[in-house]
Every structure is written in structure tokens, then in C-alpha cells.
A and B are shown apart, each in its own frame.
Chain A
Amino acid sequence: MTAEFTDDLRQAYVVAKNEIKKFFRGKKILIFGLLVLAIVLLQTIVPIVSNSSYGSKDNLLESFVSFAILLVELAGVLFTATSLVSEFEERTALVLFTKPIKKWSIFIGKLMASMMAVGAFILIYYVYAAILTFTEPGSFSTGAFVQSLALAFCAVFGVCGVSMLFGSFAKKGSTASILTLVFFVLLIGLISGLLQTFAHIDTWWSINDAPGYLGYVFTGIRPEVIDVSPYVVDVAITTADIIRAGAVLVLWGVITNIAAFFIFRRRDF
């Protein structure tokens, strides 16, 4: 590792530190915190109010982690998508980009900050779910829990990559956020659904499909839609391929982050 490379990494760390400061001093963190709190409270309180329970520790975890991807995507929309574009939109690039720092240090710093912030939320969310399992019967599947958490971190990388990509070319933060939201909520789901319905293609490679494994790891099976007709939806139960799901998410992260970096690097102020 050369001294210059080490210094580039040091600068990326400085950028990441400032970015995290930005997250925590901004209003978005409040919005996101409230959303997380609402999801957590609903999942905790509804079974109590309805005098019911999840039935087992694994059921509780499966239910909780199925919302984890929603949180990751929300964080991507709120924080990551605006991370790069804000430097152009708020004209702070005039301060940062004119300093002796390479574009890749800025990019890595911002990506790291997003991943650390979102990752921290996810970790807290998982730990909360794990603590809550003490209210349920059955045994705690440590292996499945760790696998699901690892997959969640892979999802953080993938989602951050897609969000960075939109942020690398959008002119405004709001545009980047809307594009990211539309991509995750509408576009990728629509593409997957159409391919499954009309071409009978298993969309295991979709960034919307792979995060399903966050919950599948607790049952070891994955429902696969094989046919949709006006009245019937045929679903095949297949074995959940955890490694493949993780690889899909990481690959989404790698490809989108590389594309985002090259667009950002050549972008004029």
C-alpha cells in the first residue's frame, strides 16, 4: 500500500466523519428515526393489544426482518441518494472539490458514511428483535439470525449503490430521492412481476427479490411465483440459496457503485 493510497483512505475517512455529522445534525434523521420507531412499535404492540403472539422466536424474527429491507431502502432514499448531489446543489463542492483530494476519496467517504449510518440502524433493529424473542417460545436460531444480518448488510451495500448511482447524475437531491424511491417501490418490482408473469422467468437476480432471503433464512425455503393467471397464483417452494442472494446484493452494489463513481468523477460543477 503506497503512502499516497493510505492518505487517500485517510481523506475518505475525514469525508465520512463529516457526512455522518451531517446526517446526525440534519432533520432527515428525525424523520427516519420516527419511521423506524413506528415500525418497531407496531410490530411490538399489535400482538400484545390483540392478545396474540408470533408463536415462536423464528416467527418473530422472520416478521421483523421482513421490514428491514424497507428501512434500508428508506435510508437510501433519505440519506444516500442526496449525498453526492448535495455538494452540487448546495454549492459546497466549491469548498470541497477545490481542495487536494481525489474524487474517489470523496466518493468512498460518502458511501462509507451512508453504509455505516444505515448499517448501525439495521444492527440496532436486529438487536431489538433478538431481545424481543425472549417473549416467545422455542429456540433462538443463532445461525439463521447471523445469516440474515449478514444478508441485511449486503442489502445495505446494494441499496446504497443504487442510491449513489441516482445521486451521481441527478441535478437536485429531491430528484435523486424520487428516482431512488420509484426504482425500489415501483420500477424493479414491476419489471420482476412482468417477467415472472409473462415470461415465467425466476427473478432471483432482482435487488427486490434477493432481500426476501432476510426472512427465508429462518424457514430455509423460498416461495417462487411460477404462474399468474387471473384467478390463480402458482407458487413453487424452493430451497433458499442464501449465498446466491448475498452475491446478488453485493453484485448490485459493486456494479452500481462503479457506475456512480465514473459518472461522478467526470461530472462538471
Chain B
Amino acid sequence: MTSEYPIEFVSLRKEFGSFVAVNDLSLQIKKNSFTGLLGPNGAGKSTSLKILTHLIHATSGEAYINGYEVDKNPKQALQGVGTVVETPEFYGYLSPNETFRYIGEIFGMKRESIQSQTSEILEKVKMADWADKKIGTFSKGMRQRISIGLSLLNDPSVIILDEPTSGLDPRGMAEMREILKNIRNDNNNLTILMSSHMMHEVSDLCDRIAMINHGTLLLNDDFENVISDSDTRVVIVRPLETPNDDMLDKIGRLSNVVSAERMGGEINVRMKGGNEEMAALFRQIAALDFPVCGMSESANALEDKYLSLIKESR
């Protein structure tokens, strides 16, 4: 186990009766990466993360964090780790301040350090105004923000997130993504592993992708490699005016463009190539003689890749 990979699964297997949830999973998570763990429901994502966070025991194989085997040395393994597994329930009789104090004391942090970190973190997750209210009265979104905040206590080097936006309303999801982006931007020395089945979320946040199905690893690579390996990438162009045939024709003739289709008030542009080609395409579209008010990459390329890999693995 090298420091190059703070998280590592080695031949991990988990059986629930006759059902094999994780089947010989070997996976290394690169240091300082934000890795999205993708897979359909029942693929073994949550089970793997629960083994990693010492919530369940593997039938065989090992899970390591920072070189420590979780099952044998949970205390050492989880020392520098922040976790958000599903939507945890907190002790309803405690306030966020008291919860942070409790968990801070578990970590062995000094009282002053807990206090200063708690204020800073609650500010970051936009829960400072609720610091002394009982968590029992909080909504799911608020509890999830507390959960993300708690994962930052004691300056972790590794954060494990199991579907952190699951069950949240669209606004809650957007807020959570914003918080995760800020966490990532504030500290580049963090290794984050996040399970999800939302392509746009993973596209938006992650720089590496690991895909599993039936508890087996299908892919583990840089996001860019995964996307460029895909046949096409999709760029969504939003002209100021309603798209017309002339616009489609002009975009369709640009280099690396495979096709341009009208989708309501937007144009879906399928293109070949990597980030450099995409940047060039953005410049070319901006230089066309009709005003454009927005351009972004669609998660479709990742989705296409995901679906084809899942189909192959059946």
C-alpha cells in the first residue's frame, strides 16, 4: 500500500447469503483525486464504501485507508477520514455545536480547536445560524449539510461520500454540489471518493471515474481519458434567439463536429476529440455571426460510456 493510493480495495468480496454484492473488487484511488464511483443500483458501490468505513465486514479481501487495513485497524485507518454515508441521522437531542464537540472529542481534538473549526465549518456549509438548534428539528438537506461539515472536522486527508445528494430536492442537490466544489477548491490535498449514479454530478465534480457493476470493477481512469475514449462528446449551445437551420448548418460545418441538432431552444452538438478540441470549438462558435448566451458540455458522453460498459458487463 503506497501513499500514492490512500484508498485501496484488494480482492474485496461481500456476500449477503447467496447474493454476491461485491465480487473480487480491486481498486486504487489516486492521491488528491476526486473520484466518482459510478454504477447502477445494486452494483456494490454502497457495500464497498460501507466496508471502507467499517460499517460492515467483508467476506474476504481487504480495504485499506492510508495503508491501514480497515477491518483490523479501524482506529488508525479512519483517523484522517471524513465520511458521509447515505443520509445519516444525528443525535436529535444535540445541536450542531454539541455534535461537533462530541465527534471532536472522539477524535481527541482540543476544546479550543473544536470550537474554532466548528464555527468555520458551519459557516462553510451555511449552517452557522443553526449552530445551537437541536438537529432533531432539521430537514434532510440541513442534516446532509451538517454531515458534510462533520466530515471536514479534524482536517481529513480523505473524504468518503456515499451518494451525498441522494434524496435531496433540486435546490438541496445544487447547494450540496456547490459546497463540495468549494471544499475541493479550498484544499487540493484532499482525496475524495464519491459514489453516485448521477452523471451530471460526477461530470461536474470529479476528475477521475471508477465504474463498477455486479461488484466488479469495469473502469478506473481520469475523467478526460474516459470521455475522450468515448466516440463523441456533446456540447449544448444556447443561442440568444430560437435556433434555426442556418445556425445548425454553420455549426455543423465547424471542425470536429459530427452533428448539430435542435433540442427546443438549444442546439446539441456532437463532436470528436478531447478538451483542446472542445476549447477550439467553443471559440469557433463564439466567433459565428449569431449571439450565443451559453455553452456547456453535456454529461451525455459519460452517460454513453457508462451505459455501454454496463451493457457489456451483463
Taking Cβ atoms with an 8 Å cutoff, the residues of A that contact B are 4, 7-8, 10-11, 14-15, 18, 21-22, 25-26, 90-103, 266, 268-269
Taking Cβ atoms with an 8 Å cutoff, the residues of B that contact A are 50, 53-57, 74-79, 81, 83, 85-86, 88-94, 99, 102-103, 105-108, 147, 150
Q: Which of B57, B88, B105 contacts A92 (CB 8 A)?
A: B88
A25-B93, A95-B90 given; A268·B106 CB < 8 A: no
Q: Within the assembled complex, what's the spacing in Å between the Cα atoms of A138 and B237? A: 98
A98-B83, A102-B74 given; A90·B89 CB < 8 A: yes
26 A-B pairs with CB atoms under 8 Å apart are A14-B102, A15-B106, A18-B102, A21-B93, A22-B91, A22-B93, A26-B93, A92-B88, A92-B89, A95-B88, A95-B90, A95-B150, A97-B53, A98-B53, A98-B54, A98-B81, A98-B85, A99-B78, A99-B83, A99-B103, A100-B76, A100-B78, A102-B74, A103-B74, A266-B57, A269-B56
Q: Within the assembled complex, what's the spacing in Å between the Cα atoms of A103 and B78? A: 13
Q: Within the assembled complex, what's the spacing in Å between the Cα atoms of A121 and B245? A: 83
Query: Do B56 and A7 touch across chains, with their CB atoms under 8 A apart?
Result: no
Query: Do B55 and A93 touch across chains, with their CB atoms under 8 A apart?
Result: yes
Q: Please name the residue on chain A nearest to B83 by beta carbon.
A: A98
Query: Do A92 and B55 touch across chains, with their CB atoms under 8 A apart?
Result: no
Query: Do A94 and B75 touch across chains, with their CB atoms under 8 A apart?
Result: no
Q: How far is the CB of B279 from the nearest CB of chain A, in Å? A: 41
Q: Within the assembled complex, what's the spacing in Å between the Cα atoms of A22 and B90? A: 12
* Chain A positions within 8 Å of B108 at CB level: 7, 10-11
Query: Do B56 and A100 touch across chains, with their CB atoms under 8 A apart?
Result: no
Q: Within the assembled complex, what's the spacing in Å between the Cα atoms of A268 and B79? A: 21
Q: Which one of A10, A14, A26, A103 has the highest number of Cβ atoms from chain B below 10 Å of its Cβ?
A: A14
Query: Do A98 and B78 touch across chains, with their CB atoms under 8 A apart?
Result: yes
* Chain B positions within 8 Å of A99 at CB level: 78, 83, 103, 106-107
Query: Do A91 and B76 touch across chains, with their CB atoms under 8 A apart?
Result: no
* Chain A positions within 8 Å of B53 at CB level: 97-98
Q: Which of A100, A103, A269 contacts B79 (CB 8 A)?
A: A100
Q: Within the assembled complex, what's the spacing in Å between the Cα atoms of A96 and B102? A: 10
Q: Which one of B54, B83, B92 has the highest number of Cβ atoms from chain A below 10 Å of its Cβ?
A: B54
Q: Which of A15, A18, A92, A100 contacts B74 (CB 8 A)?
A: A100
Query: Do A101 and B55 touch across chains, with their CB atoms under 8 A apart?
Result: no
Query: What 9 pairs between A and B have smallest CB-CB spacing?
Result: A94-B88, A268-B56, A269-B55, A25-B93, A91-B89, A98-B83, A100-B78, A98-B53, A14-B105
Query: Do A268 and B55 touch across chains, with their CB atoms under 8 A apart?
Result: yes
Query: Do A101 and B106 touch across chains, with their CB atoms under 8 A apart?
Result: yes
Q: How far is the CB of B75 from the nearest CB of chain A, in Å? A: 5
Q: Within the assembled complex, what's the spacing in Å between the Cα atoms of A45 and B237? A: 85
Query: Do A94 and B86 touch across chains, with their CB atoms under 8 A apart?
Result: yes
* Chain A positions within 8 Å of B56 at CB level: 268-269
Q: Within the assembled complex, what's the spacing in Å between the Cα atoms of A94 and B147? A: 10
Query: Do B50 and A269 touch across chains, with their CB atoms under 8 A apart?
Result: yes
Query: Do B55 and A94 touch across chains, with their CB atoms under 8 A apart?
Result: yes
* Chain B positions within 8 Å of A95 at CB level: 88-91, 99, 103, 147, 150
* Chain B positions within 8 Å of A10 at CB level: 108
Given contacts A14-B106, A97-B55, A269-B56, 4 further A-B contacts (CB under 8 A): A91-B86, A92-B88, A101-B106, A102-B74
Q: Please name the residue on chain B nearest to A99 by beta carbon.
A: B106
Q: Within the assembled complex, what's the spacing in Å between the Cα atoms of A22 and B94? A: 9
Q: Within the assembled complex, what's the spacing in Å between the Cα atoms of A168 and B56? A: 15
Q: Within the assembled complex, what's the spacing in Å between the Cα atoms of A94 and B163? A: 13
Q: Please name the residue on chain A nearest to B93 by beta carbon.
A: A25
* Chain B positions within 8 Å of A96 at CB level: 106
* Chain A positions within 8 Å of B83 at CB level: 94, 98-99
Q: Within the assembled complex, what's the spacing in Å between the Cα atoms of A107 and B57? A: 18
Q: How far is the CB of A264 from the nearest CB of chain B, in Å? A: 12
Q: Within the assembled complex, what's the spacing in Å between the Cα atoms of A256 and B83? A: 33
* Chain B positions within 8 Å of A268 at CB level: 50, 55-57
Q: Which one of B74, B81, B90, B106 has the highest number of Cβ atoms from chain A below 10 Å of its Cβ?
A: B106
Q: Within the assembled complex, what's the spacing in Å between the Cα atoms of A99 and B84? A: 11
* Chain A positions within 8 Å of B57 at CB level: 266, 268
Q: Within the assembled complex, what's the spacing in Å between the Cα atoms of A14 and B105? A: 7
Query: Do B54 and A97 touch across chains, with their CB atoms under 8 A apart?
Result: yes
Q: How far is the CB of B48 from the nearest CB of chain A, in Å? A: 14
Q: Please name the residue on chain B nearest to A11 by beta carbon.
A: B106
Q: Please name the residue on chain A nearest to B105 by beta carbon.
A: A14
Q: Within the assembled complex, what's the spacing in Å between the Cα atoms of A22 and B91? A: 8
Q: Within the assembled complex, what's the spacing in Å between the Cα atoms of A226 and B289? A: 107
Q: Within the assembled complex, what's the spacing in Å between the Cα atoms of A98 and B147? A: 12
Q: Please name the residue on chain B nearest to A4 by beta carbon.
A: B75
Q: Within the assembled complex, what's the spacing in Å between the Cα atoms of A90 and B53? A: 18
Q: Please name the residue on chain B nearest to A268 by beta carbon.
A: B56
Q: Please name the residue on chain A nearest to B56 by beta carbon.
A: A268
Q: Within the assembled complex, what's the spacing in Å between the Cα atoms of A101 and B54? A: 10
Q: Please name the residue on chain B nearest to A19 by beta carbon.
A: B91
Q: Within the assembled complex, what's the spacing in Å between the Cα atoms of A226 and B79? A: 59
Q: Please name the residue on chain B nearest to A14 by beta carbon.
A: B105
* Chain B positions within 8 Å of A269 at CB level: 50, 55-56
Q: How far is the CB of A267 from the nearest CB of chain B, in Å? A: 9
Q: Within the assembled complex, what's the spacing in Å between the Cα atoms of A46 and B86? A: 55
Q: Within the assembled complex, what's the spacing in Å between the Cα atoms of A8 and B99? A: 20
* Chain A positions within 8 Å of B102 at CB level: 14, 18
Q: How far is the CB of A4 from the nearest CB of chain B, in Å? A: 8
